[in-house]
């Protein structure tokens, strides 16, 4: 057998992914863009329904309250997505509800002063106001870190080696939102998983009018087919005598969203009443804001590769974090029951469709705002069984994780130092949060359990997050372990030119503010 030539076995590092049909500033036709935007909207519904469906009943809310929270969350998601794509990082990212806020919000729900309220609806209103107040105060952290450019200074200590585990765990860290949820209804979850893979990968060469229709709309097509299949099972009585939990996860008529949703309802600030403020609640919520900042930083860097853009310069990243802080402030003012971060599943969909267009994401934001006001129509789409979304998450979270691992191509992975840092950060980034989750499930409180509840919530929130743990470990080791002689091994020569706006001529194309606003906010 003839020996391979060096160029046949070497894969040189590339700062932009190949094979994408549309990048950040190139757009499909309007018809295709609208269809792709609707697909991103459908995907965003999963988290927008999951979080309120879990939190609102704990607060004492009814099905009517749950529907209003879902509508409000989608409405604010649309606004935040538009703000981020216009004035923030300008990357094609959906800014949606975040699981990072679960620990402090659940702690607020179980506050003794709120739990003693007997009337469920009154308890819901008081709990929502307490969550709003904590979120409004905590949002100032991201606003200050972002617009003061302090986060830009911090990001200069990040290398490709240090960020690879963080970005990877933005996807891998959500493993419990994937197949464990699919397992709640395997008869619809597994077919959805199989169909999505078949359409997006094995049949991607199928074209209609020169458009790879099955690859580009794999999520939309497979969701429609499995949703219809689930409705057929429901209508035929397949779940009639099954356990209540199975019926809740499999049936298409158990969400109680359509019957409870109003025809027209425009969310507005302070809908639940004036927020209440508590120092302990606000301090605990600050940890969630820091976690969402770290997770979003990783997601922004992953999205830049899937949009075929250069890594966002430090000041652009910091600008995006500042606008995300504004978004969290809006979450608090409107009362969405949770804060904001970048939607990881929608970042993954950029890679699955091979369309990283900013316009598509802005159109999806329009769908979020439109359908959140037309309650019945929005509730119809939101009634899709959650295992269908979870099946898509299995693919899309994994895709984002692999993008994180791709940053290792800019480093020397024949270095034992780099192998040590990468392996330890990845392992502990998965293992420590898993310990915190298991401990909490058994003891009904986190491993940090002192008399200071705010302190417990702060540390438990930080260590529940895989990307946060990975950043702490990877950044510390990378900047203290033989760092003086390892710049090239860490990938710093490649990373350096993307630190400043003027370091690469392509940055102006990707990240310049619209409406000639750079005159007032010159890039650094």
Decide if pLDDT at 9 tops 70: no
Residue 101 lies in a domain: yes
- 483 — pLDDT class (breaks 50, 70, 90): confident
**Which DSSP string do the residues of 342-373 spell out, in sequence order?**
E-HHHHHHHHHHTB--HHHHHHHHHHHHHHHH
Q: Return the pLDDT at 265.
A: 85
User: Token pair 């300008």 is at which residue?
Assistant: 90
Radius of gyration of the chain from Cα atoms? 23
Half-sphere exposure of 15 (CA within 13 A, CB side): 15
In this prediction, residue 4 carries a pLDDT of: 59
pLDDT, one tens digit per residue, over 345-398 is 999 999 999 999 999 999 999 999 999 988 777 778 878 899 999 999 999 999
Q: Assess if residue 492 is contained within a domain.
A: no
pTM comes to 0.93
What totals of helices (H) and strands (E) does the chain contain, helices first? 25, 2
Whether residue 238 is contained in a domain is answered as yes
Task: Please give the torsion angle defined by the CA atoms of residues 441, 447, 452 and 454, in that order, rounded to the nearest 10 degrees.
Answer: -70
Residue-averaged pLDDT of the chain? 90
pLDDT-based confidence at 101, cuts 50/70/90? very high
The H-or-E segment that residue 341 falls in is: strand 340-342
Contact 340, 99 (CB under 8 A): no
Burial class (CB in 10 A: 0-12, 13-18, 19+), 54: middle
Residue 519 per-residue DSSP state: G
CA distance 91 to 331: 21
Count of structural domains within the chain: 1
Q: Report if residue 524 sits inside a domain.
A: no
| 340: DSSP letter | E
153 vs 141, 147, 178, 214, 342, CA distance in Å? 15, 12, 35, 44, 21
Q: Is 2 among the domain residues? A: no
d(CA 283, CA 24) in angstroms, rounded, equals: 37
Note down the domain range covering 354: 30-408
385, two tokens: 């069984």
Asked if residue 330 is part of any domain, the answer here is yes
Tell me the pLDDT band of 509, cut-offs 50, 70 and 90: confident
- The DSSP letter of residue 521 is S
pLDDT band at 1 (very low <50, low <70, confident <90, very high): very low
Query: How far apart, in Å, are the Cα atoms of 478 and each of 335, 485, 489?
Result: 40, 11, 11
Q: What's the pLDDT band for 209 if we cut at 50, 70, 90? A: confident
Structure tokens at 177: 């939102």
Q: In this structure, what is the dihedral angle of CA atoms 93, 94, 96, 101, given to the nearest 10 degrees?
A: -10
Distance CA 354, CA 216 (A): 7
Band of residue 413 on the pLDDT scale cut at 50, 70, 90: very high
Least Cα distance to 467 among 417, 399, 377, 400 occurs for 400
Q: Give the helix ranges, DSSP H, for 198-313.
A: 213-216, 218-235, 244-250, 279-306
What is the per-residue pLDDT across 283-327, written as a single tens digit (0 to 9) for each?
Answer: 999 999 999 999 999 999 999 999 988 889 999 999 999 999 999
The pLDDT, as a whole number, for residue 361 is 97
**Does a structural domain hold residue 282?**
yes
């Amino acid at each position: 057998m003839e020996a391979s030539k060096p160029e046949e076995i070497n894969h040189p590092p590339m700062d932009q992914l190949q094979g994408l049909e549309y990048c950040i500033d190139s757009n499909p036709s309007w018809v295709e863009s609208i269809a792709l935007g609707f697909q991103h909207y459908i995907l965003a519904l999963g988290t927008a329904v999951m979080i309120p469906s879990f939190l609102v009943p704990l607060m004492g809310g009814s099905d009517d309250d749950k529907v209003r929270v879902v509508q409000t969350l989608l409405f604010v998601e649309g606004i935040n997505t538009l703000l981020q794509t216009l004035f923030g990082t300008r990357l094609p990212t959906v800014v949606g509800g975040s699981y990072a806020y679960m620990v402090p919000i659940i702690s607020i729900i179980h506050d003794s002063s709120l739990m003693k309220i007997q009337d469920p609806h009154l308890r819901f209103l008081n709990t929502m106001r307490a969550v709003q107040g904590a979120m409004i105060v905590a949002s100032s952290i991201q606003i200050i870190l972002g617009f003061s450019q302090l986060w830009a200074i911090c990001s200069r200590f990040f290398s490709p080696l240090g960020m690879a585990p963080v970005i990877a765990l933005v996807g891998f860290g959500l493993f419990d939102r994937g197949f464990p949820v699919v397992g709640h209804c395997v008869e619809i979850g597994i077919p959805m998983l199989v169909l999505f893979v078949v359409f997006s990968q094995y049949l991607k060469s199928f074209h209609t009018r020169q458009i790879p229709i099955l690859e580009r709309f794999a999520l939309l097509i497979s969701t429609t087919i499995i949703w219809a299949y689930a409705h057929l099972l429901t209508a035929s009585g397949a779940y009639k005598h099954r356990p209540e939990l199975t019926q809740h996860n499999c049936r298409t008529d158990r969400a109680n969203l359509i019957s409870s949703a109003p025809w027209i309802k425009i969310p507005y600030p302070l809908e639940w009443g004036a927020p209440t403020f508590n120092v302990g609640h606000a301090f605990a919520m600050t940890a969630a804001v820091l976690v969402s900042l770290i997770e979003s930083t990783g997601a922004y860097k992953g999205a830049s590769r899937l949009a075929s853009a250069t890594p966002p310069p430090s000041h652009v990243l910091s600008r995006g974090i500042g606008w995300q802080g504004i978004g969290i402030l809006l979450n608090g003012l409107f009362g969405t029951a949770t804060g904001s971060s970048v939607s990881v599943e929608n970042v993954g969909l950029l890679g699955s469709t091979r369309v990283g267009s900013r316009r598509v994401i802005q159109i999806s934001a329009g769908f979020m705002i439109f359908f959140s006001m037309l309650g019945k129509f929005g509730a119809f789409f939101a009634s899709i069984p959650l295992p269908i979304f979870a099946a898509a998450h299995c693919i899309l979270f994994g895709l984002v994780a692999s993008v994180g691992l791709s940053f290792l191509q800019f480093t020397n992975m024949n270095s034992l130092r780099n192998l040590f840092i990468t392996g330890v950060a990845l392992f502990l980034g998965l293992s420590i949060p898993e310990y915190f989750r298991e401990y909490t499930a058994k003891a009904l409180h986190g491993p940090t359990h002192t008399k200071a509840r705010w302190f417990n919530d702060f540390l438990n929130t930080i260590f529940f997050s895989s990307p946060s743990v990975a950043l702490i470990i990877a950044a510390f080791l990378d900047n203290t372990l033989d760092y003086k002689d390892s710049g090239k091994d860490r990938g710093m020569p490649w990373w350096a030119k993307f630190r400043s706006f003027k370091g690469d001529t392509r940055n102006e194309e990707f990240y310049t503010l619209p409406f000639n606003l750079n005159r007032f906010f010159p890039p650094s």
